[in-house]
């Protein structure tokens, strides 16, 4: 049948009488196989010239676009003991709703009347400040009175000096007159004595003239003594001014010293009042921190601490909460090799976990069950996994993302690049070349010149 034997049956057997011989002799398997190969080759050649969209594939997770929309934990600001829960996991809470009540565990805050007692201490210190202020006012009045008295005393001393100067001048004139009278009396006595010796005057007249001379001399001595006394008074008046200055300088220094002491005490009391007011506000705010409230509108997802009577430290995590309203995004990572090919505004296709998809990475328009996105942020520093993080938001021009998506779900992303023929993509992958990437530049734009 296969014509491999040297013994032929042709001419010896009538093969037309047998249907099997006719079926075998008329089968053209080689020709059919050749045609199939030719058709497959032609199809393959045509397929090599079909367009192919280059892409970068990466896995990521669903997150939120804004940092304040992501899941967060509620911490206890103060240390305390858990007394009562007002919510349970899965409950919806509004901003400001009470979640948990804590009681105090520090002994310095045990006093139930702590705020009232602190307020009384503040009032007492304020009265102390007021008393210091009154004392300062009294010392200011005392200082003003001393200054006025000093001014009057100095003015009085100056008047004494002026009177002394006038007395010295008057006594000087009297002394000069007394000296003149003494000289005249002395000359008269000399002439009287000469006339007595000549026998022209009697002894009585001579003695009378001598008495007048002695009286004139006594007046001259008295006038000189009076002048010295006036000068001494003038000197004493000058010394009195210095004495008044020294005396009131000591009094003023003492009064000012007491004033500054009172000022210092007043400032210390004011500092204590300010410190106690601050302490009072801290106590008041701490009282409000016994109730842990919700910072946002959201859902209680998990209680990290449970039970009643347990103590918690300041800053310890109590529970986690998920905001009720959030804008979804996808957090994906690309290798440093592909980072230059990614830029803001670039389109990305996603396959979310739980949503069946039929994906043709090279033909995104033919894919089914994928959703569009747009790159909005690219990290400038590398992550701990050795890749760069990219944040992708929903594409407003594409199909909306499913409402059932939850933060933390998985997503497979494809960043779309340049359209190339399939043969080029195969050749690029075989040679290990990176995808083609070209930015559109305005060739007619003139370069800017720096002034």
Closest residue by Cα to residue 326 from 409, 410, 412, 403: 403
Is there a shared CATH topology between the 71-104+290-322 domain and the 114-288 domain? no
Mean pLDDT of the chain: 80
Domain ranges of the chain: 1-48, 52-68+326-431, 71-104+290-322, 114-288
Which residues neighbour 291 within 8 Å (Cβ) at sequence distance 6 or greater? Answer: 98, 100, 101, 102
Mean pLDDT of the region 106-114: 84
Q: Decide: 306 and 109 in contact? Cβ < 8 Å.
A: no
End-to-end CA distance of the chain: 94
pLDDT given at position 365 = 53
Q: Is the confidence at residue 358, as pLDDT, over 70? A: no
> Domain 52-68+326-431 is classified in which CATH homologous superfamily?
Efflux pump adaptor protein, beta barrel domain (2.40.30.170)
What CATH number is given for 114-288 in this structure?
A: 1.10.287.620
What CATH number is given for 71-104+290-322 in this structure?
A: 2.40.50.100
Chain segment 387-440, per-residue pLDDT in tens: 899 899 998 888 888 888 888 888 888 776 666 677 776 776 676 666 664 444
| Range of weakest confidence among 1-10, 29-38, 219-228, 232-241 | 1-10
Strand order in the sheet with 311-312: 291-293, 98-103, 80-85, 311-312
List the beta bridge partners of residue 390.
Answer: 332, 378
How many whole angstroms separate alpha carbon 292 and alpha carbon 76?
7
Please report the beta strands in 45-113, taking only residues with DSSP state E, as ranges in sequence order. 51-64, 72-75, 80-85, 92-93, 98-103
How many whole angstroms separate alpha carbon 414 and alpha carbon 316?
40
């Amino acid at each position: 049948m296969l014509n491999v034997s040297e013994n032929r049956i042709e001419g010896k057997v009538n093969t037309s009488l047998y249907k099997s011989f006719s079926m075998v002799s008329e089968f053209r398997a080689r020709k059919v196989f050749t045609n199939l190969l030719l058709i497959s080759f032609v199809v393959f050649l045509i397929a090599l010239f079909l367009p192919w969209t280059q892409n970068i594939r990466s896995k990521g997770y669903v997150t939120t676009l804004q940092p304040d929309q992501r899941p967060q934990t509620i911490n206890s600001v103060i240390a305390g003991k858990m007394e009562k829960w007002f919510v349970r996991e899965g409950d919806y809470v509004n901003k400001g709703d009470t979640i948990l009540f804590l009681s105090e565990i520090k002994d310095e805050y045990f006093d139930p009347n702590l705020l009232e007692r602190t307020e009384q201490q503040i009032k007492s210190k304020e009265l102390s400040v007021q008393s210091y202020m009154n004392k300062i006012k009294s010392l200011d009045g005392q200082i003003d009175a001393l200054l006025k008295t000093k001014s009057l005393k100095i003015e009085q001393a100056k008047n004494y000096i002026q009177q002394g100067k006038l007395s010295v001048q008057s006594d000087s004139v009297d002394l000069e007159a007394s000296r003149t009278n003494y000289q005249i009396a002395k000359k008269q006595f000399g002439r009287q004595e000469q006339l007595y010796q000549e026998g022209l005057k009697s002894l009585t007249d001579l003695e009378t003239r001598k008495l007048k001379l002695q009286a004139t001399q006594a007046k001259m001595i008295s006038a000189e003594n009076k002048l010295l006394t006036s000068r001494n008074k003038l000197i004493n008046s000058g010394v009195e001014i210095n004495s008044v200055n020294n005396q009131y300088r000591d009094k003023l220094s003492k009064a000012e010293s007491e004033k500054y002491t009172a000022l210092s005490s007043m400032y210390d009391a004011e500092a204590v009042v300010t410190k106690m007011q601050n302490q009072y506000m801290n106590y008041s705010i701490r009282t409000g921190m016994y109730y842990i409230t919700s910072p946002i509108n959201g859902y209680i997802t998990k209680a990290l601490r449970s039970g009643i009577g347990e103590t918690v430290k300041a800053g310890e995590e109590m529970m986690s909460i998920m905001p009720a309203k959030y804008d979804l995004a996808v957090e994906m990572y690309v290798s440093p090799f592909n980072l230059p090919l990614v830029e803001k505004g670039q389109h990305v296709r996603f396959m979310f976990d739980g949503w069946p998809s039929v994906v043709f990475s090279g033909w995104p328009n033919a894919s089914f069950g994928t959703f569009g996105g747009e790159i909005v942020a690219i990290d400038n520093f590398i992550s701990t996994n050795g890749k760069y993080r990219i944040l992708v938001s929903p594409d407003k021009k594409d199909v909306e993302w499913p409402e059932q998506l939850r933060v933390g779900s998985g997503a497979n992303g494809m960043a779309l690049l340049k359209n190339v023929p399939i043969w080029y993509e195969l050749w690029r992958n075989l040679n290990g070349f990176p995808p083609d990437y070209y930015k559109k530049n305005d060739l007619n734009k003139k370069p800017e010149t720096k002034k």
